[in-house]
A and B are shown apart, each in its own frame.
Chain A
Amino acid sequence: LRVTILVLIGILAFSSRLFSVLRFESVIHEFDPWFNYRTTIQLVENGFYDFLNWFDELSWYPLGRVVGGTVYPGIMVTAGLIHYVLNLLNFPIHIREICVFLAPLFSALTAVAAYLLTTELKDTSAGLLAAIFIGIAPGYISRSVAGSYDNEGIAIFLLVFTFYLWIKALKLGSAFYGILTAVFYFYMVSAWGGYVFITNLIPLHVFALILMGRFSTRIYISYSTFYVIGTLSSMQIPFVGFQPTFTSEHMAALGIFGLVQIMAFIELLKSHLSETHFKRLFVGIAIGFFFIGLAALVGLTFSGKVAPWTGRFYSLWDTGYAKKFIPIIASVSEHQPTAWPAFFFDLQLLIVVFPAGIFFCFRELRDEHIFVILYSVTASYFAGVMVRLMLTLTPIVCVASAIAFSYLLDLYLKEDIVDAARPPTSELLNAATESVEKESSKKKASSGDASNHDTNAPTTFHSTVKLAVLVPMCIILFIFTWHCTYVTSTAYSSPSIVLASTAQDGSMHIIDDFREAYYWLRQNTDEKAKVMAWWDYGYQITGMSNRTVIVDNNTWNNTHIATVGKSMSCTEEVSYPIMRKLDVDYVLVIFGGLIGYSGDDINKFLWMIRIGQGVYPTDISERDFFTPQGEYAVDARASKVMRSSLMYKLSYYRFTELYGPGRPGRDHVRGADIPATPIHLSTLDEVYSTENLIVRIYQIKKPDNLGRPLHAAARFGKKRPRPTRGKKAASASKNTRG
């Protein structure tokens, strides 16, 4: 029965992630997955060693990127391995399908891992509840729908499974499970940068156990095995390298490793020495070593031997840090603090029951419950600071609320053993076909015998009381599944490369401008052409149009991005030399003013200015782009600098002509009327604009044959002076040429 339920949960978790594939098509969705997809193709076509040593010339144009050393290869290797195995079994399938369906597959495995973890914490009935919760919780679905081929898809499975193995190792005190923990930790390190969470949470757990006086040889065995093998193996990933030995993020694990050695040594002394002798030693050794270690660590950090916190992690502590000093981190929408509705939206009733689960953990405080408590406290904090980390909170919320629910069920379904067979049938009557109901009702059979040992529970209740508790509970569980399905289907299952708009009669209209433009670039430009766009679109351009880009989503070189930001926000005369120096052939901007696509480049323009200003403070000033009243306007009130900036010109070039001559154009995103004064471009030519004007591609002009500045040349062609003033005009053009 348990296996059947788990299989059903797996199928449910898999199938509830397929909305976008069924509704649209099986494509890779967001920005980052396009890079993962491209590297996976590289891996599949050229083999593993070529992939490890791959130097990618298509991105960061003048610099290039060493992909093997700057990427977490776990997800690509996993997909490549599955592809290889399937082809070995004569089941040929394109690598794209594997990439699309990898996340649903692994979320089914996550459900199993959550089952195992919760089973360790309580019993199998709670485990099954946790499995179903994490199978459909929207907080996790948001990052693992079919087509989002991102690191998090497999990372959450590895996170939960690593924690399961850790709990298991700690309980048994077995080196074997410690090794398995380390191996899966290694896999996790290869898959996601969030492995730092594990390296800090497990030492924190051990430290808490030591402080509570629960140190035992089991802790020594499991932790030191995990630490040694885990650290050594994590250093095999080229991107991680020697970081575990000198960055602050990893120092807690090292310190706890030292502390565990001391504790074990003290235990050994204790077994051989008498009480009085021991006490005299203890103070000298333990305290002394701990503070010497701490002082050495602090000293090393300040002297620079140990690298301080990196910006991305530091901004989790000092939440104002990123905004002040590193605008590129703050510019990503996922790095914003979370609002309350988001918690409820992502974890409906789980977020309500979550504290109750923690309470139950406190009441029955075994070693592994301390882990759950620490995990939930830290993860709650991080999820409150950053939207993106809601993902690490979701597993523990599912586990804790499963524990709470399971306590409730144990209490109210507790029957005499004779009656144990009856409630499932009565439950089946009111429980509908929904699988949660089925699962919770089936669980009664298992919880019936599981709760036998729970003898301290109050006496059995009257059957009407039971019914009064159980029926509402089934109803809210039913509502939970409904909510999850609804949220998944409406909010999280839309591919960002295809925009869908619903017409008034309910029919769906699909806007496919992105791929239209990217394929135009692929088909109609030279293979060596360089495209300059804002970094958001870097991965998609290289992935879909197979052209070289200047910057992309891997924001490893802030100065380079600032250069692109500068050339976007300066006048044509300033940015043309920059673009020439970067060898740019095409400039691509996203403009949503015609159909109201709000994520366009004018709305991101302020971040371009800020990032550009951070590096070139003399050339760009954010103040200049606002009206005297301090507004960010694009209509007639727009400041002169704004109007002459390259981005403004590229976005609104010939825009008002769509509305007829002389009439102002309507920008549907900003809700502003664009004045009808024509915009002249002297250094660029419009070469392609998509159907709904979302993507506009411009080509850089070659320098003038006669050596004139391009704006002068453009004026010469356009405004021909009247024949009567011929001499004057000729001398004027001669002057500009000189």
Chain B
Amino acid sequence: MAKKQVSKSTSEVVESSGTTRTTTRTTTTTTTTTTPKLTTSNTDTTLSSILTTFEESYFSSTPQSIVLIDVYLAFVMLTGIIQFLYVVLAGTYPYNSFLAGFICSVGSFVLAVNLRIQAHPANRSTVSMSPERAFADFAFSSVLLFGFCINFVG
């Protein structure tokens, strides 16, 4: 039970900050810090009932492995947000290092979402690919991503 609650809270972070991530990507400056607050507060206040139904539906329908991926997603997103906040505070002097780290987070997030989509049993009808193949793709692209990142950190 306790375990479930942990994943519950994290999954919430995933979804609500799924939007935060996109905004930070599109704007990439200080203005962004205000925008996520706005929208999350909107959804929280008016639509708390929706959130509860969402949680219930999520935990009833999501298999264990997918929840694991979601926890990973939440962690990756957290690293990205921390890096971004730090840049907002400290400035972008070694710009390539910031980009390398931040894009590494974004990239890992995106690749894991790919894996999540491809491995999700509910998507079996639309995705013509075995989960094993999806995982191989994930591994390959992650290796490539990290290679480029390490080359770029400088």
List A residues at the B interface (Cβ < 8 Å).
172-176, 178-179, 183, 216-218, 220-221, 224-225, 228-229, 231-233, 235-236, 242, 245, 254-255, 257-259, 261-262, 264-265, 268-269, 271-274, 277, 280-281, 284-285, 288-289, 292-293, 296-297, 299-300, 305
Contacts and interface: CB of A to CB of B under 8 A. Distances in A.
Contacts of A258: 22-23, 25-26
B141 A268 contact: no
A229 B107 contact: yes
Contacts of B117: 217, 220-221
Which of B26, B127, B138 is the most central at the interface, judged by chain A CB atoms within 10 Å of its CB?
B26
Nearest to A224: B110
Contacts of A217: 117, 123, 126-127
A174 B129 CA distance: 8
Interface size class of B (residues with CB under 8 A): 35 or more
B22 A277 contact: no
Contacts of A269: 15, 54
A224 B114 CA distance: 9
B88 interface: no
Contacts of A224: 110, 113-114
B69 interface: no
B65 interface: no
Nearest to B95: A242
B78 to A, nearest CB: 17
A187 to B, nearest CB: 13
B39 A284 contact: yes
A175 B141 contact: yes
A288 to B, nearest CB: 6
In terms of DSSP, what is the predominant structure of the interface of chain B? helix
A257 B28 CA distance: 13
Interface string B108-140: 001101110110001100111100001001101
16 contacts: A175-B141, A179-B144, A217-B123, A224-B114, A229-B144, A235-B152, A242-B99, A257-B25, A258-B23, A262-B22, A272-B54, A272-B61, A284-B43, A293-B22, A297-B26, A300-B27
Given A218-B126, A228-B107, A281 B47 contact: yes
Nearest to A299: B31
B149 interface: yes
Interface string B55-80: 00110010000000000000000000
B53 interface: yes
B89 to A, nearest CB: 18
A228 B103 contact: yes
Contacts of B123: 217
A175 B107 contact: no
B152 A236 contact: yes
Contact of B32 (A245, A280, A296): A296
A508 B123 CA distance: 70
Nearest to A265: B18
Nearest to B42: A284
Contacts of B129: 172-174
A281 B152 CA distance: 39
Nearest to A256: B26
Contact of A277 (B50, B138, B140): B50
A305 B111 CA distance: 29
Nearest to B145: A229
A174 B137 contact: yes
B9 interface: no
A236 B148 contact: yes
Interface in B27-57: 27-29, 31-32, 35, 39, 42-43, 47, 50, 53-54, 57
Given A262-B22, A265-B19, A289-B39, A225 B57 contact: no
B151 interface: yes
B71 to A, nearest CB: 16
A250 B4 CA distance: 42
Contacts of B96: 235, 242
Contacts of A174: 129, 137
Given A221-B118, A277-B53, 11 more contacts: A172-B129, A173-B118, A175-B137, A175-B141, A220-B114, A228-B103, A228-B106, A236-B152, A258-B26, A265-B18, A273-B53
B54 A225 contact: no
B21 interface: yes
